[in-house]
Amino acid sequence: MKDKLKEPIIQVENFVAQYGNARILDNVSFQVYEREVFVILGGSGCGKSTLLRHLIGLNKPFAGKILIDGNDIGSCDAATFHKTLRKIGVLFQSGALIGSMTIGENVALPIKAYSGLSDEAIETLVRMKLGMVGLADYMHHLPAEISGGMKKRAGLARALALNPKILFLDEPSAGLDPITSAEIDELILEINKRVGTTMVIVTHELASIFAIAQRVIMLDKRTKGIIAEGDPAELREQSKEPFVRHFFNRIAS
């Protein structure tokens, strides 16, 4: 898989995450390649959310490096850091929409903050982004007026507002019924194929993992590191780690 893909757009090298004296992740290294759909998974408390927070720049590594498009976001200057963050979009688990603003206004927020475009151009761009996620007719609705799945779509439209090279998605299918979850999976694959956006997804939903993941890493709470990496279907059948096979086959340990 790797030799068919472009250069790595994310490089994590000997990464350590620690809060106070509590070490969460220790000596973690992996790469994500351009246009890849890459999934981070593992059991509860293994550090998935911690890793995501560091990847999107909310926390700095205790040790090691995280390079986004060649820039070390843990040690670069402020100008480089903010320039690098412009290359990413984030879909938070809840959607994180502002309840007092319409769906269109939510999507327009990052465009107004960073683009310098006219109001007319911003409205056109917002309509286009909402159209990408199937919400073209809901621009003037408030978040309270749409379903959970539509909120995820709206959050995805906002994450795509600045045409990011990398999209980070935190549990995109969490709390959704199976049909809506499958629709979100299809939308993720469609955007990846049509736009070429690199996708980094944190999830524990097995159906989604097998539907969308080109490659996964599995974090392990005991070792505080990566216990498995590769194609999820192959790991389900061939992994030598019992926990990995149990996870992918939904077998109680």
The CATH number for 168's domain is: 3.40.50.300
For the residues of 34-95, what is the DSSP string, one character each? TT-EEEEEESTTSSHHHHHHHHTTSS--SEEEEEETTEETTTS-HHHHHHHHTTEEEE-TT-
Question: In sequence order, what E strands does the chain have?
Answer: 8-19, 22-33, 37-42, 63-68, 71-72, 88-91, 166-170, 198-202, 215-220, 225-230
159/70 same-domain check: no
pLDDT of residue 253: 64
pLDDT digits (tens, 9 = 90+) for 96-118: 899 999 999 999 999 998 888 99
Gap between the Cα atoms of 220 and 240, Å rounded: 14
158/177 same-domain check: no
Of 115, 137, 163, the one marking the end of a domain is 163
Amino acid identity, position 192: N
pLDDT digits (tens, 9 = 90+) for 42-55: 988 899 999 999 99
pLDDT digits (tens, 9 = 90+) for 165-218: 999 999 998 888 999 999 999 999 999 999 999 999 999 889 999 999 999 999
For residue 199, which of 170, 233, 228 has the smallest C-alpha distance? 170
| pTM of the full structure | 0.91
Q: What are 23's two structure tokens?
A: 């070490």
Q: What one-character DSSP code corresponds to residue 33?
A: E
182/234 same-domain check: yes
* 166-170 vs 198-202, strand pairing mode: parallel
pLDDT digits (tens, 9 = 90+) for 217-236: 999 999 999 999 999 999 99
Gap between the Cα atoms of 150 and 176, Å rounded: 10
pLDDT of residue 3: 45
pLDDT digits (tens, 9 = 90+) for 143-167: 999 999 999 999 999 999 999 999 9
Instruction: Label residue 2 by pLDDT band (50, 70, 90).
Output: very low
Of 163, 191, 220, the one marking the end of a domain is 163
Gap between the Cα atoms of 24 and 17, Å rounded: 5
